[in-house]
């Protein structure tokens, strides 16, 4: 082998090593940028999820209040209906009206 062949092989080897080092640095920079982007996206998603969670909690609270009001209205109507039925029974059948203060049926409301 001549000196030219050895110099050529060493040059190719050094070129490959230099390219490998350059690629390793580039990969490191890209990995850093990717990690930063992932952290940014993660923070943004966490903020969005927190916002949605707060919004849903507000909507659930509103629905609870609305349903609570409706349940109270239904319970009041049920009590009125029971009293009306008791009056009707008393009038038609001669059955005495129950004492609504001790009526266990109205306690369920």
Q: What is the pLDDT of residue 27?
A: 93
- The CA distance from 107 to 109, in Å, is 5
pLDDT in tens, the chain (109 residues): 688 888 889 999 999 999 999 999 999 999 999 998 999 999 999 999 999 999 999 999 999 999 999 999 999 999 999 988 888 888 787 766 666 566 555 454 4
| Distance (Å) of CA 43 to CA 37, 46, 47, 57 | 10, 5, 6, 21
Residue with tokens 């999820």: 49
Report CA torsion sign: 9, 11, 14, 20.
negative
Tell me, what's the pLDDT at 75?
93
């Amino acid at each position: 082998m001549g000196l030219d062949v050895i110099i050529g092989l060493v040059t190719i080897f050094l070129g490959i090593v230099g390219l490998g080092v350059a690629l390793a640095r580039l990969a490191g920079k890209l990995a850093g940028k990717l990690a930063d982007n992932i952290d940014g996206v993660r923070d943004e998603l966490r903020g969005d999820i927190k916002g949605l969670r707060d919004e849903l909690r507000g909507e659930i609270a509103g629905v609870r209040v609305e349903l609570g009001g409706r349940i109270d209205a239904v319970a009041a109507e049920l009590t009125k209906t029971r009293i009306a039925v008791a009056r009707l029974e008393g009038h038609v059948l001669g059955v005495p009206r129950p004492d609504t203060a001790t009526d266990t049926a109205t306690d369920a409301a």
